[in-house]
Structure 1
Amino acid sequence: MSTDESFRWTLTSTSESTGNPGKDMELDMMRDMINKSKDQKIKLKLGQVQAEEDANQFLNESLNKL
């Protein structure tokens, strides 16, 4: 299980009913927004890491040609 999956599971599995269906739905929506935000941040970070690796590879290949 990835860290992201673990985080999502923790958020959803520890939710407790407030006894108020409207409030429960609001909490579920907030939990979903947190999970989506977390997913987007992880994807941005992975994209940044890949871009850095690509740049390093390009620089190394350029230096090797000198």
Structure 2
Amino acid sequence: MDVTTTEIDAKLDELADIGAHWTRNRARGITPEGIKGAMLMLIGETIDLMQREAPPPGTDEEETE
């Protein structure tokens, strides 16, 4: 599967949006478990996309664009 930088950027944008909600709630002394779960899920999805984008270690594959 080819993963584009745009897909990774989109996940990071989502994470930033959710992070803003997290920051507002934390400023009010609230630790929202739903937001925490969503952030952790997006982090995992972003890592998965990044791992699919990178060639396996020890290969001589070069990026082609």
TM-score by length of 1: 0.42
More helix by share: 1
Q: Relative contact order (C-alpha < 8 Å, sep 6+): which is higher?
A: 2
TM-score by length of 2: 0.42
